[in-house]
Structure 1
Amino acid sequence: MPLDPQVCYKAVRSRDGRFDGRFYTAVRTTGIYCRPSCPARTPAFRNVTFHPSAASAQAAGYRACKRCLPDATPGSPDWDVAGTVAGRAMRLIADGVVDREGVDGLAGRLGYTSRHLGRILAAELGAGPLALARARRAQTARVLIETTGLGFAEIAFAAGFASVRQFNDTVREVYAATPTELRGHRGGPASHPGTVVMRLAVRTPFAGRALLRFLADHALAGVEVAADGWYARTLDLPHGPGTVMLELTDVLESADTAFVPATFRLTDLRDTAAAVERARRMLDADCDPLAVAEQLGSDPLLGALVHATPGLRVAGHVDGAELAIRAVVGQQVSVAGARTVLGRLVVEHGKPLDTGVPGLTHLFPQSETLAEIDPETLPMPRARGRAIAGLAAALADGDLALDRGTDRGDVRSRLLAQPGIGPWSAGYIALRALGDPDVFLPTDVGVRRALDARGGSVDTEAWRPWRSYALMHLWHSLDVEVP
């Protein structure tokens, strides 16, 4: 959406961290661009321009501020709220689609020609897909330079650059420093081959322990492990399998941005960007918790829940196809019952892995594998078995895509057209796989229990566009005592 210079400048003058990631401030007199909350002296209005993306500022010739590190902010929450083509494209670019498939591959996934997609992105984000991908590579490279002990050649390919020379040139242009100067004395300790340790930015407050509890309650044996303070799982990535471990604690009072420590173990470092983006999905890293609390916190039914658990996130998922299969298996059974059935599927049809992490032993079965299974042999009612087989076939054939680049309305229609998939399953998939912030599941047993405990039914229209967060608060209230 168009940026209002007066509104943007007001946010810059007040150093309002809520706008970090929503726009960037470029200063003509210094040639740098900053996040709105940058602690440096506020420039005069006549000397600034405002950009909807870091790539836009870079394309205009500005370099990143070394003080506020503007490219380290979480992404704009507006992308998920609006679900626009530009926002969907940004999710796919962050996942490394341009690096793997080129601009034509990105455009094809979104259903546009390359030229038309370029016009859309230039109009909404101020830069085309190549510039946006370049900015993402630069940001990934900087984080790896400053937080890991990886060699620069490893970092270059992990960040998605085609050559070390391209990596060096981009870093110098974007940050006005060489990789060696950026690293200084801040590089992390030397790591084992394929291991990347970094920090993932999230807005505060951040209810990390509540997120950990949700993930632990739904953890699938062999694929996921959770313990006190951390969660880990296997990842099926474009160039090979991997794992991620996240350290999850509450961050209530700190700066506007906090960081979640993450350890990735990858077969191929080229999967770094994809692994990072999928971990950020699980964290709901781009959520604006203050905007959610501002709307839901004054609600008579939800207010106490929101204030009791500030910064509650919607637990995302790393793989839409896996989440969809798990949602259908979980229809009309308890979470524990679904985990038991899914555990059998993992052992019998998942790919075994030697991860070095106790408890992480398999990848979740691929859609192609599940599509070939006789549904009569699945450990569930026959109708549900046929629904699993049909869904897996649609996913394997490409008739149904469940990533953050798909149109939510189209996906919902396609899901409901699948035999055995109803509104609850379609909504749950939209909630966790597609990152839709405005999902509500009125027929869910837990939701009904939570509403009954707090006074019965309610008009949820007042909770838009944050009904997904209202849903999470209601579920969370079943586990904690809230007055």
Structure 2
Amino acid sequence: MPDAAGRVSFEEETAVQNDRDCARYAAFKAKDARFDGHFFVGVSSTGIYCRPVCRARLPRPENCTFYASAAAAEQAGFRPCLLCRPELAPGNAPVDASASLARRAARLLEDHCGSEHSVEELAHRLGCTDRHLRRVFLNEYDVSPIQYLQTCRLLLAKSLLTDTGLSVIDVAMAAGFGSLRRFNALFKKQYRLTPTALRRETARHGERGTGITLTLGYRPPYPWQQMLDFLAGRAIPGVELVRDGEYLRTVRFATEARQPVCGWIRVGHLVHKRALSVTVDAALLPVLSLVLARVRHLFDLCCDPDTVYAALAPMNAIRPGLCVHGTRLPGCFDAFEMAVRAILGQQITVKAARTLAGRIVQAHGTPLATAIEGLTHVFPSPETIAALDGPIGEHLGPLGITGARARSIQALACALAAGEIDFGHGSPPQAQIGKLMEMPGIGEWTAQYLAMRGMGWPDAFPHTDYGVKKALAPRSPAQILALAESWRPWRGYATVNLWNSL
């Protein structure tokens, strides 16, 4: 019990830690996928660290130490297991308070591990001081942001060495090390073997065309077909395809030197590995970490389905089967592209909005030669639309887009091009929603929808949505809002369940 000053004794702290370690060891023994990515296990008898789902021989409890992150395990001197491959573990979604800040910072570090960013720049983007960020990050992950970033780069490099035939220097550059010498030295120091030695020890998968293929893990269950159906209904002609159980699309990024990089990606499902396969055009290698980050966001790979279902299961009292275990929140790959399609979709059908978006692509998109039939263009960037001369209606009106929708698209393009709106993980969603609603033609529904899919905000709730109202009829919008209070902070997932129930 705490003393009069609220302090807890050392013995009580030790007992709590022992109980926690016993629970983690039980999860490790059971190979429980629910805990995959939530902690890592350092094994003193082998010097390696594993995921909770590792199929290697179970070590004794006294040889196990548990860590909040892969970076913490590596800082303690452990090297990654070659069997369970910690670099494939799913991440964690941000939820609230200090943990949310630390996890948003971790997501940004993972997303941009191929780039050079200081902790000060990271803190500025997150709206806090670098001192506060270091403190909450250390408390959440047991390492500093810089140490975490170092592990992100090493694990990305390890994945590339294991799964692709890229040269070691290409691996070093793609993982953000800047120089081969620096990469070799750090890799050998942390993992006690050279990159070429690791490649000899691990099986290499064959290349597919001009692309490289990597895997990204998730926590089961995963409704792959449901996700594909959602994306197929909204796929923009020339830019996206859903075919033969896979999702394909064109991609455009800008490098650190602001040079445009274009290519394609293909995403498939590896059921037996609890992972998605991601084939990336070799042209996208300079922005690989960003590509993988967008795929994680699009397919909601950081979701913990058990936590979400535990909170939303009471929805089934409204109607049996209303909430389904494993439901994911579809994100997006390109926030501007998704936002334009959402604006076009105001008061018209999904199919009609898709047709209009396809016309924009044909008129203002960038042609891209691919070997994939049906992928012909890259969606126009915000800068492209913002730079159009003359009244926007002259450019979009002939495509069948009303003047009001055209002005909304132009306003959003200008705001994104100027950096006034940010759909990234580091931005406070409520602040961005407020900015969006100040723009012409963007109301509560559109702003909430963009926060839900563009920013991956789990608590976004477009309560005036037609599908939401139909699923919860005959309740009024005010009654729906009141009902949804008990679904926080997972109202976005509740929305998807309501859509799926129709």
TM-score (norm. length: structure 1)? 0.88
- Aligned-pair Cα RMSD in Å: 2.8
Partner in structure 2 of residue 361 of structure 1 = 376
Aligned-residue offset at 1:319: 2.2
**What is the one-letter code of the residue matched to 1:187?**
R
* Matching of residue 219 in structure 1 with residue 235 in structure 2: yes
Alignment of 1:1-400 (within 5 A): 5=17, 6-15=19-28, 16-28=32-44, 30-39=46-55, 40-44=57-61, 48-77=64-93, 79-80=94-95, 84-96=100-112, 99-183=115-199, 184=201, 186-190=203-207, 192=209, 195-239=211-255, 240-248=261-269, 251=271, 258-298=274-314, 299-301=316-318, 303-307=320-324, 310-373=325-388, 374-377=391-394, 378-379=396-397, 380-400=401-421
Aligned-residue offset at 1:259: 1.3
* Matching of residue 424 in structure 1 with residue 430 in structure 2: no
* In structure 2, C-alpha distance between the alignment counterparts of 1:393 and 1:128, rounded to whole Å: 36
Shift in CA distance, 453/263, structure 1 to aligned 2, threshold 3 Å: farther
**What is the one-letter code of the residue matched to 1:411?**
Q
* In structure 2, C-alpha distance between the alignment counterparts of 1:54 and 1:396, rounded to whole Å: 36
* In structure 1, C-alpha distance between the alignment counterparts of 2:82 and 2:274, rounded to whole Å: 18
Contact 2:448–2:460 (Cα < 8 Å) also in 1:
yes
* In structure 2, C-alpha distance between the alignment counterparts of 1:179 and 1:188, rounded to whole Å: 16
* In structure 2, C-alpha distance between the alignment counterparts of 1:24 and 1:325, rounded to whole Å: 41
Shift in CA distance, 335/28, structure 1 to aligned 2, threshold 3 Å: same
* Matching of residue 440 in structure 1 with residue 461 in structure 2: yes
* In structure 1, C-alpha distance between the alignment counterparts of 2:244 and 2:209, rounded to whole Å: 25
Select between 5-14 and 468-477 the one with higher mean Cα deviation: 5-14
Contact 1:28–1:48 (Cα < 8 Å) also in 2:
yes
* In structure 2, C-alpha distance between the alignment counterparts of 1:181 and 1:463, rounded to whole Å: 50
Shift in CA distance, 210/7, structure 1 to aligned 2, threshold 3 Å: same
1:437-476 deviation line (CA, Å, top 9, x unaligned)? 1222221112222334999976222322222222112212
**What is the one-letter code of the residue matched to 1:460?**
A
SS of the counterpart of 1:145?
A: helix
Aligned-residue offset at 1:197: 0.8
SS of the counterpart of 1:236?
A: strand
Contact 2:163–2:205 (Cα < 8 Å) also in 1:
yes
* In structure 2, C-alpha distance between the alignment counterparts of 1:232 and 1:327, rounded to whole Å: 20
SS of the counterpart of 2:486?
A: helix
Partner in structure 1 of residue 495 of structure 2 = 471
Contact 2:241–2:375 (Cα < 8 Å) also in 1:
yes
Shift in CA distance, 418/159, structure 1 to aligned 2, threshold 3 Å: same
Partner in structure 1 of residue 5 of structure 2 = none
Partner in structure 1 of residue 431 of structure 2 = 410
Shift in CA distance, 133/192, structure 1 to aligned 2, threshold 3 Å: farther
**What is the one-letter code of the residue matched to 1:407?**
P
Contact 2:27–2:35 (Cα < 8 Å) also in 1:
no
Aligned-residue offset at 1:108: 3.3
* In structure 1, C-alpha distance between the alignment counterparts of 2:333 and 2:285, rounded to whole Å: 18
Contact 2:239–2:249 (Cα < 8 Å) also in 1:
yes
Structure with greater Cα Rg: 2
* In structure 2, C-alpha distance between the alignment counterparts of 1:392 and 1:90, rounded to whole Å: 28
Shift in CA distance, 187/462, structure 1 to aligned 2, threshold 3 Å: same
How many percent of aligned residue pairs carry the same amino acid? Answer: 38
**What is the one-letter code of the residue matched to 2:387?**
E
Aligned-residue offset at 1:365: 1.2
Structure 2: gaps of 5 or more residues = 1-12, 256-260
SS of the counterpart of 1:14?
A: helix
* In structure 1, C-alpha distance between the alignment counterparts of 2:138 and 2:114, rounded to whole Å: 16
Select between 296-305 and 128-137 the one with higher mean Cα deviation: 296-305
Aligned-residue offset at 1:29: 5.5
Shift in CA distance, 338/102, structure 1 to aligned 2, threshold 3 Å: same
* In structure 2, C-alpha distance between the alignment counterparts of 1:21 and 1:190, rounded to whole Å: 28
Shift in CA distance, 61/111, structure 1 to aligned 2, threshold 3 Å: same
* In structure 1, C-alpha distance between the alignment counterparts of 2:303 and 2:485, rounded to whole Å: 20
Aligned-residue offset at 1:385: 2.0
Aligned-residue offset at 1:355: 2.2
* In structure 1, C-alpha distance between the alignment counterparts of 2:224 and 2:167, rounded to whole Å: 32
Contact 1:66–1:175 (Cα < 8 Å) also in 2:
no
Shift in CA distance, 221/452, structure 1 to aligned 2, threshold 3 Å: same
Contact 1:231–1:248 (Cα < 8 Å) also in 2:
no
Aligned-residue offset at 1:405: 1.7
TM-score (norm. length: structure 2)? 0.85
* In structure 2, C-alpha distance between the alignment counterparts of 1:449 and 1:138, rounded to whole Å: 49
1:77-102 deviation line (CA, Å, top 9, x unaligned)? 3x256672222212221222672444
Aligned-residue offset at 1:302: 5.5
Matched positions, count: 467
Structure 1: gaps of 5 or more residues = 479-483
* In structure 2, C-alpha distance between the alignment counterparts of 1:227 and 1:51, rounded to whole Å: 40
Aligned-residue offset at 1:233: 0.9
Select between 426-435 and 58-67 the one with higher mean Cα deviation: 58-67
SS of the counterpart of 1:304?
A: coil
* In structure 2, C-alpha distance between the alignment counterparts of 1:136 and 1:65, rounded to whole Å: 15
Partner in structure 1 of residue 3 of structure 2 = none
1:48-97 deviation line (CA, Å, top 9, x unaligned)? 544322112222322223343333210023x2566722222122212226
